[in-house]
């Protein structure tokens, strides 16, 4: 699954309703003052499950588009769930990165992509290396498979 996403430029690609995102900043890094669980660091990879925009709950970590036309995504914790914003009815969220001092601008349920399910620490660095050094990565993988085949033939030839 990681390999499929590593080389895909399609930001809306899902596999069985799950997406993989590479974390670029430490805005969700755990800090000493809040002690909230579920944080992660730059270089980690997170798995996000698609959800209906109005089903997120306070305290959950959600991934969303900062604006309706945005190609980027943010993954922050829901601080407040609102049933209206000013005089406009609907579901809105106030989010905040665990390591940030201020809350984000309110977002609509239409901007919500999904909620964080699991974190794979430091895997993002590996995927970044593979993207930048594709030829070296292919040569390495072929060498590993070749080595395994030689060892297999040596062991089973006796």
Clarify whether residues 141 and 105 are in a common domain: no
Question: Count of domains in the chain?
Answer: 2
Residue 30 falls inside a structural domain = yes
Residue 127 falls inside a structural domain = no
Within 8 A by CB and 6+ apart from 76, the residues are 27, 28, 61, 62, 64, 95, 96, 97, 98, 100, 104
- The pLDDT tens digits for 5-31 are 555 555 567 778 898 888 999 999 987
Residue 150: give the domain boundaries.
133-158
Residue 3 confidence (pLDDT): 53
Residue 115 falls inside a structural domain = yes
Clarify whether residues 56 and 100 are in a common domain: yes
pTM of the model: 0.76
Clarify whether residues 113 and 72 are in a common domain: yes
Give yes or no for a contact between 104 and 74, defined as CB atoms under 8 angstroms apart: yes
- The pLDDT tens digits for 20-61 are 888 999 999 987 766 677 889 998 989 999 999 999 999 999
- CA 121, 123, 126, 127 dihedral sign is negative
Clarify whether residues 138 and 107 are in a common domain: no
Clarify whether residues 78 and 110 are in a common domain: yes
Clarify whether residues 107 and 140 are in a common domain: no
DSSP symbols for the chain: -HHHHHT---TT--BTTEEEEE--SSTT---TTT--SS---TT-EEEEEE--TT---TT-EEEE-SSTT-S--EEEEEEEEEEEETTEEEEEEEEE-TT-SSPPPPEEGGGEEEEEEEEETTHHHHHHHHHHTHHHHHHHHHHHHHHHHHHHHHHHT-
Residue 128 falls inside a structural domain = no
Clarify whether residues 102 and 25 are in a common domain: yes
- CATH code of the domain in which 76 resides: 2.10.109.10
Burial class of residue 62 in the structure, from the number of CB atoms within 10 Å of its CB (0-12 exposed, 13-18 middle, 19+ buried): buried
Clarify whether residues 89 and 117 are in a common domain: yes
Clarify whether residues 92 and 156 are in a common domain: no
Q: What is the mean pLDDT of the chain?
A: 87
Residue 157 confidence (pLDDT): 72
Clarify whether residues 112 and 137 are in a common domain: no
| HSE toward the beta carbon, residue 93, CA cutoff 13 A | 29
Residue 95 confidence (pLDDT): 97
């Amino acid at each position: 699954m990681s390999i499929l996403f590593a080389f895909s430029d399609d930001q809306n690609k899902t596999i069985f309703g799950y997406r993989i995102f590479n974390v670029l900043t430490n805005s969700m890094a755990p800090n000493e003052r809040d002690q909230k669980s579920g944080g992660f660091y730059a270089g980690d990879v997170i798995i996000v499950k698609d959800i209906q925009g109005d089903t997120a709950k306070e305290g959950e970590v959600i991934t969303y588009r900062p604006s309706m036309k945005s190609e980027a995504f943010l993954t922050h914790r829901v601080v407040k769930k609102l049933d209206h914003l000013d005089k406009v009815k609907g579901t809105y969220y106030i989010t905040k990165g665990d390591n940030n001092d201020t809350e984000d601008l309110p977002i609509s349920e239409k901007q919500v992509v999904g909620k964080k399910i699991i974190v794979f620490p430091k895997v993002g660095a590996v995927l970044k290396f593979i993207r930048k050094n594709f030829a070296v990565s292919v040569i390495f993988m072929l060498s590993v498979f070749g080595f395994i085949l030689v060892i297999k033939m040596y062991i089973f030839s006796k």
